[in-house]
Chain A
Amino acid sequence: MVETSYYLVLAAIIFTVGATGVLLRRNALIIFMCIEMMLNSVNLTLIALARQWGNLEGQIFVFMIMAVAAAEVAVGLAILIANVRHRQSINIDEINLLKW
């Protein structure tokens, strides 16, 4: 049996990769994907911990996260498309109407 800590470390690495992607990439779609990756690393954490504790709550949590992630994608893509219609670009550097 693989130790829980290995899973936690792997999940933390995936989470960090995702977070770095969000901060560095300029394409809104890729940023979505990175956010999904971060959510999936959380799922991995939860599954590993649920196995360690031997209860189901972690797995239920994973179900909820998956549903929320789907809803988030639906909302996010709709907003993205509305944005593209206004300025024909998904580069987030060009989202610059509002600033101090």
Chain B
Amino acid sequence: MLSQYFFILIMSGLAVVLPLAAIVMGHFLGPRRPDEIKNDIYESGVETIGETWVQFRAQYYLIGLVFVVFDVEALFLFPIAVAYQQLEMFAVLATIFFVLLLVIGLMYDWRKGALEWQ
């Protein structure tokens, strides 16, 4: 039982050591002649203009709240998926009713502008 996990231990050891070795060797062996162009940002877009520490607009919290609620409601759909084979008609209708409630809630949020990104 435990011996099976022994290989995983070896693998994880290797997974740590190999990249570390590559980085350390590069650090010691590579030449280092920094200049302005080399220190520039590259591959990740252009240089930023102004402060990068912007605050998110308070508007964002609305989307966060909507997400939290709908995220957790999805929880109730998992047991239904698990027991799908044995469901009665009543349970199916109840599920549809539940989803309908969520849809109406979402429509309400949408129409009231909770999903607008201003």
Q: Is there a contact between chains A and B in the complex with CB atoms less than 8 Å apart?
A: yes
> Which A residues fall within an 8 A CB radius of B?
63, 66-67, 69-71, 73-74, 77-78, 81
A-B contact count (CB 8 A): 30
> A68 CA to B69 CA in the complex, in Å?
9
Select B69's contact among A63, A71, A81, beta carbons within 8 Å. Answer: A71
Contact across chains for A73 and B68 when beta carbons are under 8 A apart: yes
Contacting residues, chain A, for B58 (C-beta < 8 A): 81
Task: Name A's interface SS.
Answer: helix
- 17 inter-chain pairs at a CB distance below 8 angstroms, sorted by A residue, are A63-B76, A63-B79, A67-B73, A69-B72, A70-B68, A70-B69, A70-B72, A71-B69, A73-B65, A74-B65, A74-B66, A74-B68, A74-B69, A77-B61, A77-B65, A78-B61, A81-B58
User: What 1/0 mask marks residues of chain B from 53 to 81 whose CB sits below 8 Å from any chain A CB?
Assistant: 00000100100111011011101100100
> Which B residues fall within an 8 A CB radius of A?
58, 61, 64-66, 68-69, 71-73, 75-76, 79
CB distance from B82 to the nearest CB of A (A): 12
Contact across chains for B75 and A66 when beta carbons are under 8 A apart: yes
Contacting residues, chain B, for A71 (C-beta < 8 A): 69, 72
Contacting residues, chain B, for A74 (C-beta < 8 A): 65-66, 68-69
Contact across chains for A70 and B71 when beta carbons are under 8 A apart: yes
> A63 CA to B72 CA in the complex, in Å?
9
> A66 CA to B71 CA in the complex, in Å?
11
